[in-house]
């Protein structure tokens, strides 16, 4: 499982939580449900400790503090992007793993931001009050954007904390989240990728599973390890089968409350288009990777990410293409709408479904163009992203904060600059490949005779144009970016960098498309707000909002399942060894040299991975699993295939969260990697 990569899904026609379902807000925890079902009382103190021990990874994952000196446990695959950026042709940290034997050897990540949630404030009334009756969708969207920017700015100025207004329940509520922010984050320990991702793409989303998918980072403040009084106590024994466990993490996005019409769009357009892009990208990157070993090193992380997305979306799409499931969803929506129609005050909520369907249809009429030009799928290189960020930052700076594009407000400045000035390596040959490919897609999608396409290609073939842009740009140099950024609008408009020139050339149309989509999205959000308020009234308080990459609590039990055969809840080093042998030890079932030398010393009975019924999704990767005592008893890293439909409907028949067992982390660090310093810091 990868952090945050899904395009979106679905209607759980009733939002009321059943079974172990739910990604609960920390300011609205499932106290009653856990008490009733599992006889455990969630206290405010218990919750606060878990909250402040939880860490959000800005690149789309989760983690937790495991020492008072800022030591953080997360997944290897959450950290893999950083580990790759810290690698060089001579030092391949993905392949070899990494261990800072001394504090001074910890490696600083080029552009990683961590957030720790310090508090939540409900600002729904203030946001809604800013929108006046009778405003057009365009005016309403602008007013809402302005008041949200103002709230964030005030909070940042007052507290110094990162302040984000989170839209919940599709606009049914707005909460202000304040985060402690860490931008100096260092790599402490990572196993080799063969062990971390044992079984690779074939075993991804499968269970039984055998991955040492863990890594340790450390938060720093003022050049020294951060002081983190809230951290999780390590419990190597883990949890028993049947035991109640919680996860605290940042599920990226679910779509359990979209309407049937939106579901059809996702099924017929959103997912197929995303899959087309992923299949293409996978074949392309693998072919390039095959050309030589250094290419392979450079493309490895990208390929893993692409394969993960492909497998996840394919499984979800197959779910949506199940006519029985869709029939059920249609019936549930009909039932809900009938209930709405039965009461005069909910009539508008019923009509809202039709408004959403119309807005969806309108958006589909230009969605390809929107994706290509504003979504930049037609120029899929990070270097174009940099060019556009420079152009827009320069242009937006001249506007009042509340009128700027999202991401360019004062409250976003620190994160924007962290990204923009990252010194992560840029491989121009790989970027040229990606750009050529995406220009070719652009031609196919809009037609090679389209005026925008003609302007973009500038009289060249995609191959020549990509080569000219990538060879010509200097945006791969951080100093160039900084100079343009500091030079402001004048410098950016005068720049003869070809990538900047390209961004200038298409920005008018791209912004126009974006504005058009935002107006439609505001209409959809307003309609969802009406539906959600009617649901509140109809279904009481036992509901939770769709995931929004904000902190959520889920609960469940450690439990195997039946899938033709009985699948036990846990694997072990013994079953890992069996799988390795059965697959002939060839990649991705191979083991590194250090494993081959030392694996004989491992206790084969050590539990390795386990499954539980917790409700999670992408973004939860790296979440701690804790017991009633708040001790760390596991590390979320995946969902099994039957659980992937959780994007649009939770299921505990076969769907499971998959975790690394703490005993396996300790045993591997002790026997294989000999990472004594980390073990000592964990108190082991």
C-beta of 183 vs 318, nearer to a second copy = 318
| Residue that the structure tokens 């931008």 belong to | 183
Binding test (CB under 8 A) with a second copy, winner from 202, 540, 600, 601: 202
Q: Say how many C-beta atoms besides its own lie within 10 A of residue 341's C-beta.
A: 13
Element of type H or E holding 483: helix 478-494
CA distance 86 to 89: 10
CA distance 680 to 684: 5
C-beta of 286 vs 514, nearer to a second copy = 286
- Give the x-and-dash track for 527-566 against a second copy (CB under 8 A): ----------------------------------------
Q: Give yes or no for residue 8 binding a second copy (CB under 8 A).
A: no
**Residues in 171-200 that interact with a second copy by CB under 8 A:** 200
**Is 147 in contact with 163 (CB distance < 8 Å)?**
no
**Residues in 464-483 that interact with a second copy by CB under 8 A:** 464
Q: Give yes or no for residue 267 binding a second copy (CB under 8 A).
A: yes
> Segment contacting a second copy (CB under 8 A): 183-191, 207-215, 452-460, 504-512?
452-460
Binding test (CB under 8 A) with a second copy, winner from 129, 158, 321, 338: 321
Q: How many residues in total does the chain contain?
A: 684
Binding test (CB under 8 A) with a second copy, winner from 284, 547, 636, 678: 284
Q: Say how many C-beta atoms besides its own lie within 10 A of residue 141's C-beta.
A: 21
SS (H, E, C) 360-428: HHHHHHHHHHHHHHHCCHHHCCHHHHHHHHHHHHHHHCCCCHHHCCCCCCHHHHHHHHHHHCCCCCCCH
Binding test (CB under 8 A) with a second copy, winner from 163, 170, 257, 307: 307
Nearest CA among 594, 611, 600, 592 for reference residue 573: 600
Q: Give yes or no for residue 48 binding a second copy (CB under 8 A).
A: no
Binding test (CB under 8 A) with a second copy, winner from 63, 249, 319, 378: 319
Nearest CA among 452, 50, 89 for reference residue 233: 50
Minimum Å distance from CB 92 to a second copy? 14
Element of type H or E holding 508: helix 498-539
Binding test (CB under 8 A) with a second copy, winner from 317, 349, 569, 672: 317
> Segment contacting a second copy (CB under 8 A): 187-195, 267-275, 546-554, 658-666?
267-275
Q: What's the token pair of residue 133?
A: 């009756």
Q: Give yes or no for residue 322 binding a second copy (CB under 8 A).
A: yes
Binding test (CB under 8 A) with a second copy, winner from 37, 328, 413, 460: 460
Q: What's the token pair of residue 324?
A: 């029985």
Q: Give yes or no for residue 451 binding a second copy (CB under 8 A).
A: no
Minimum Å distance from CB 571 to a second copy? 18
C-beta of 237 vs 454, nearer to a second copy = 454
Is 340 in a helix, a strand, or coil?
Answer: helix
| Residue that the structure tokens 């990868």 belong to | 2
Minimum Å distance from CB 276 to a second copy? 6
- Give the x-and-dash track for 581-620 against a second copy (CB under 8 A): --xx-xxx--------------------------------
Q: Give yes or no for residue 622 binding a second copy (CB under 8 A).
A: no
Nearest CA among 194, 197, 156 for reference residue 177: 156
CA distance 383 to 435: 9
Minimum Å distance from CB 94 to a second copy? 17
- How far lies 12's CA from each of 254, 262, 540, 642, 648, in Å? 11, 13, 15, 17, 7
Task: Phi first, then psi: give them for residue 55, nearest 5 degrees.
Answer: -125, 135
Q: Give yes or no for residue 119 binding a second copy (CB under 8 A).
A: no
CA quadruple 611, 616, 618, 621: dihedral sign? negative
Q: Give yes or no for residue 577 binding a second copy (CB under 8 A).
A: no
> Segment contacting a second copy (CB under 8 A): 334-342, 437-445, 532-540, 557-565?
437-445
Query: By rule CB under 8 A, what count of residues binds a second copy?
Result: 55
Minimum Å distance from CB 280 to a second copy? 4
Q: Give yes or no for residue 363 binding a second copy (CB under 8 A).
A: no
Minimum Å distance from CB 285 to a second copy? 10
Binding test (CB under 8 A) with a second copy, winner from 30, 110, 252, 462: 462
Binding test (CB under 8 A) with a second copy, winner from 224, 444, 515, 680: 444
C-beta of 125 vs 206, nearer to a second copy = 206
Q: Give yes or no for residue 653 binding a second copy (CB under 8 A).
A: no
CA distance 414 to 390: 14
Q: Give yes or no for residue 282 binding a second copy (CB under 8 A).
A: yes
- How far lies 623's CA from each of 53, 164, 642, in Å? 11, 21, 20
Minimum Å distance from CB 461 to a second copy? 4
> Segment contacting a second copy (CB under 8 A): 219-227, 274-282, 476-484, 647-655?
274-282
Q: CB-based burial of residue 577 (10 Å sphere; 0-12 exposed, 13-18 middle, 19+ buried)?
A: middle
Q: Give yes or no for residue 400 binding a second copy (CB under 8 A).
A: no
| Residue that the structure tokens 């979209």 belong to | 258
Q: What's the token pair of residue 236?
A: 């190597």
Binding test (CB under 8 A) with a second copy, winner from 368, 415, 440, 654: 440
Binding test (CB under 8 A) with a second copy, winner from 43, 158, 160, 279: 279
Q: Give yes or no for residue 318 binding a second copy (CB under 8 A).
A: yes
Q: Give yes or no for residue 274 binding a second copy (CB under 8 A).
A: no
C-beta of 129 vs 444, nearer to a second copy = 444
Each residue of 488-509: b (16+ CB within 10 Å) or e?
eeeebeebebbbbbbbbebbee
Half-sphere exposure of 628 (CA within 13 A, CB side): 11
List of E strands, 525-586: 552-557, 561-563, 565-567, 570-572
Q: Give yes or no for residue 240 binding a second copy (CB under 8 A).
A: no
C-beta of 48 vs 294, nearer to a second copy = 294
| Residue that the structure tokens 């299921």 belong to | 651
Q: Say how many C-beta atoms besides its own lie within 10 A of residue 331's C-beta.
A: 12
Binding test (CB under 8 A) with a second copy, winner from 268, 429, 593, 676: 268
**Is 647 in contact with 10 (CB distance < 8 Å)?**
yes
Q: What's the token pair of residue 384?
A: 């174009």
C-beta of 452 vs 531, nearer to a second copy = 452
**Positions in the binding site for a second copy (CB under 8 A):** 200-202, 264, 267-268, 272, 275-276, 278-280, 282-284, 286-287, 290-293, 307, 310-311, 314, 317-326, 436, 440, 443-444, 447-449, 454, 457, 459-464, 583-584, 586-588
């Amino acid at each position: 499982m990868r952090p945050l990569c899904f395009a979106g899904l679905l209607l759980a026609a009733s939002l009321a939580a059943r079974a172990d379902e739910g990604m609960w807000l920390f300011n609205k925890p499932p106290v009653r449900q856990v008490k009733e079902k599992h006889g455990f009382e969630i206290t405010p103190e218990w919750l606060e400790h878990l909250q402040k021990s939880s860490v959000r990874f800005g690149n789309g994952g989760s983690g937790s503090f495991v020492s008072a000196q800022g030591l953080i446990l997360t997944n290897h695959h959450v950290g893999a992007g950083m580990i790759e950026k810290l690698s060089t042709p001579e030092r391949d940290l993905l392949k070899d793993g990494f261990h800072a034997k001394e504090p001074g050897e910890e490696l600083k990540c080029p552009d990683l931001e961590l957030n720790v949630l310090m508090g939540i404030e409900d600002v729904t009334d203030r946001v809604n009050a800013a929108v006046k009756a009778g405003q057009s969708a365009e005016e309403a969207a602008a007013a809402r954007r302005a008041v949200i920017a103002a709230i964030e700015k005030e909070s940042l100025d007052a507290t110094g904390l990162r302040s984000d207004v989170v839209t919940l329940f599709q606009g049914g509520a707005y909460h202000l989240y304040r985060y402690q922010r860490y931008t100096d984050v260092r790599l402490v320990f990572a196993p080799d990728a063969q062990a971390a991702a044992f079984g690779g793409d074939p075993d991804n989303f499968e269970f039984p599973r055998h991955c040492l998918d863990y890594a340790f980072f450390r938060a720093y403040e003022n050049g020294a390890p951060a002081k983190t009084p809230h951290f999780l106590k390590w419990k190597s024994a883990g949890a028993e089968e049947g035991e109640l466990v919680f996860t605290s993490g940042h599920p990226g996005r679910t779509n359990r409350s979209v309407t049937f019409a939106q579901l059809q769009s996702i099924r017929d357009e959103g997912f197929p288009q995303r899959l087309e892009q992923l299949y293409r990208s996978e074949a392309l990157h693998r072919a390039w990777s095959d050309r030589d070993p250094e290419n392979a090193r450079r493309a490895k992380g990208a390929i893993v990410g692409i394969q993960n997305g492909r497998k996840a979306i394919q499984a979800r799409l197959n779910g949506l293409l199940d006519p029985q499931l869709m029939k059920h969803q249609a019936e549930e929506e009909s039932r809900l709408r009938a209930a709405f129609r039965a009461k005069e005050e909910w009539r508008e909520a019923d009509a809202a479904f039709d408004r959403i369907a119309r807005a969806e249809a309108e958006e589909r009429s230009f969605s390809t163009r929107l994706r290509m030009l504003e979504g930049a799928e037609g120029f899929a290189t990070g270097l174009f992203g940099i060019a556009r960020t420079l152009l827009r930052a320069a242009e937006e700076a001249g506007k009042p904060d509340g009128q700027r594009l999202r991401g360019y407000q004062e409250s976003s400045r620190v994160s924007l600059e962290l990204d923009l000035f990252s010194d992560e390596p840029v491989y121009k040959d790989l970027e040229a490949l990606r750009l050529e490919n995406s220009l070719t897609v652009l031609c196919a999608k809009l037609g090679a005779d389209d005026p925008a396409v003609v302007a973009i290609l500038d009289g060249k073939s995609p191959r020549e144009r990509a080569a000219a842009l990538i060879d010509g740009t200097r945006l791969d140099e951080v100093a160039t970016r900084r100079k343009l950024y500091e030079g402001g609008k004048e410098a950016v408009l005068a720049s003869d960098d070809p990538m900047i020139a390209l961004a200038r050339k298409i920005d008018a149309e791209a912004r126009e498309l974006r504005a058009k989509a935002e107006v439609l999205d505001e209409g959809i959000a307003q309609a969802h707000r009406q539906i959600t308020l009617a649901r509140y009234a109809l279904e009481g308080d036992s509901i939770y909002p769709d995931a929004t990459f904000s902190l959520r609590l889920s609960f469940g039990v450690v439990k195997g399942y039946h899938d033709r055969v009985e699948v036990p809840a846990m694997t072990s080093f013994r079953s890992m060894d069996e799988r390795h042998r059965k697959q002939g030890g060839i990649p991705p079932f191979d083991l590194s040299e250090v494993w081959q030398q030392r694996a004989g010393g491992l206790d084969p009975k050590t539990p390795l991975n386990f499954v539980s019924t917790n409700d999670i999704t992408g973004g939860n990767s790296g979440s701690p699993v804790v017991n009633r005592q708040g001790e760390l008893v596991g590390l979320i890293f995946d969902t099994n295939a039957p659980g992937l439909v959780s994007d649009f409907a939770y299921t505990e028949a076969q769907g499971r969260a998959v975790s690394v067992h703490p005993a396996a982390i300790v045993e591997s660090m002790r026997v294989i990697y000999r990472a004594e310093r980390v073990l000592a810091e964990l108190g082991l």
